[in-house]
Structure 1
Amino acid sequence: MFVARIALLFIICIWVRLTSQETVKVTLYYEALCPYCHEFIQDQLYPGYETLGDSLQLDLVPYGAAKHKKVHGKWKFSCQHGPKECYANKLHACVLNKNYTQAESMNFIGCLMKTANPEKDSNAKKCAYKKELSWETIKRCANGEEGDELFAHYGDVTDSLYPSLEYVPHILFNDKDNQTLEDSARDNFVKTVCAIFTDRPSGC
């Protein structure tokens, strides 16, 4: 009886540890065609997510220096790298807001940002099929009112940032602006984020 109780307590301790795993929130303000954003996502953020998984709570905001306003009831956008970037941003916005897991969304975005032209449907389609997501659902969203509303929403999120956004990629850790951590993350994201954990996950 005593041994059974000890075993039960051991199992409960393991379950509590697993279900209360510490996470670090990483917020990224970016643009889909910004070369520096490409570099950070491709070389740092996505490999870091592959290493640390859902120990990270990723909050991606695809908007950057874009502008949005309603004209005759319809959203109009202008993006730093032109209309192609607006469309690419909408692709990201749609994937981030569909009923996909964080891993599914990140796998698609990681795949797309490795391509030379992430605004092209041909590349997005390949990434969607490769990651087993519905390309038709993503495309319909990005080309319709839903994509416009989601992109405008990310614009509102970006415009509400304080201090105001001055550059991309802009990285926050646990909703805090810390220039030292941000600069460090650009060079070694995994090392930077691992130092934030109180109880480091196995990937660290």
Structure 2
Amino acid sequence: MFLTRIILPLCIVCTFASSNSQDTVKVSLYYEALCPYSQEFIKDQLFPGYQVLGDVLDLDLVPYGKAKMSNINGKWKLTCQHGPKECFGNKIQACVLDLNYTQAKSMNFIGCVMSTETPENKKIAKKCAEKNKLSWTDIKLCMNGEQVNEIMEKMGNKTNNLEPKMMYVPYILFNDIHDDDVEDEARENFLKTVCKMFKNKPPGCSDFN
């Protein structure tokens, strides 16, 4: 069973509108590479759910969490809740998301690394990239250039501008709306939760009529 919000603050330092008229559901996930609850949700819920439903889900993944971005003497510095390794893991995933791969390729890569115990490990990231036919050369160029700072600044702004404010990770929105009860349901059974939101049930939702 996924741990409840009482435990989730270990990863910390409106009314829900049903989307029954839609044929796609937007799922926004604000998370951190090394938060165990982020890893658990992606590995056990989001990634398996996406493998069933595919692109009827519109995924908006934001690997930033409780990080802080600062500019010191013209140089960007990223500080992450779980240390430099998490910053590295966040950056790898952010670069993949920025490189305009298909949603399926990006999600398969993120599902691959987040299903391991060390998603920040460069060898694991390279292996997951090659497995999903992503260019490791392009990912490294992004990681080693100024581009990654711009990407992380964008991720940070998006996270910091959330309303209501993000107080813990993972933080989940459906169709740009956050609801505590729906989020709790999704942590327990993402597929069942999201299937309720379709008017015309996709094939993967046949068990949840």
Superposition TM-score, scaled by structure 2 size: 0.86
* Residues matched between the structures, number: 184
Provide the secondary structure at the position in 1 that maps to 2:53. helix
* 1:54 aligns to 2:78 (yes or no): no
User: Which residue does the alignment assign to 1:114?
Assistant: 115
Higher relative contact order (CA 8 A, sep 6+): 2
Give how far 1:143 is off.
2.4
Other structure's SS at 2:62 match: strand
**Secondary structure of residue in 2 paired with 1:181:** helix
Residue range with higher mean Cα deviation, 72-81 or 47-56: 72-81
- Structure 2: tracts of 5 or more residues without a match: 1-21
Say which one has the larger Rg.
1
| One-letter identity of the residue aligned with 1:80 | Q
- Aligned mates of 1:129, 1:135 — CA distance in 2: 7
**Cα separation, 2, equivalents of 1:154 and 1:59:** 11
Q: Residues of 2 paired with 1:88 and 1:149: CA distance?
A: 16
Which residue does 1:201 correspond to in 2?
Answer: 202
Matched residues, percent identical? 61
Amino acid at match of 2:73: H
Tell me by how many angstroms 1:81 deviates. 0.3
Task: Please tell me the residue identity of whatever aligns with 2:27.
Answer: V
Correspondence 1:66-85 to 2 at 5 A: 66-85=67-86
Choose 69-78 or 36-45, whichever is displaced more.
69-78
Deviations 1:175-201 (A, max 9, x none): 001111100000000000000111111
Q: Distance in 1 between matches of 2:154 and 2:165?
A: 16
> What amino acid maps onto 1:132 in structure 2?
K
**Cα distance between partner residues in 2 of 1:177 and 1:80:** 23
Which stretch shifts more, 172-181 or 136-145?
A: 136-145
CA offset at residue 144 of structure 1? 2.0
Deviations 1:12-62 (CA, angstroms, capped at 9, x unpaired): xxxxxxxxx810000000001100000000000000000000000000011
Aligned counterpart, 1:181: 182
> What SS does the aligned partner of 1:133 have?
coil
Task: Give the structure with the larger helix fraction.
Answer: 1
How much has 1:140 moved relative to structure 2? 1.8
Structure-2 separation of matches of 1:73 and 1:23: 42
Instruction: Using the TM superposition, give the Cα deviation of residue 74 of structure 1 relative to its aligned residue in structure 2, in angstroms.
Output: 1.9
- Residue 12 of structure 1 is matched in structure 2 by none
Structure 1: state its 5+ residue gaps.
1-20
User: In 2, Cα distance between the equivalents of 1:136 and 1:106?
Assistant: 19
Rounded Cα–Cα distance in structure 1 between residues aligned with 2:130 and 2:26? 28
Q: TM-score, normalised by structure 1?
A: 0.88
Specify the alignment match of 2:3 in structure 1: none
**Residue 142 of structure 1, CA deviation:** 1.7
- For 1:162, the aligned partner's letter is E
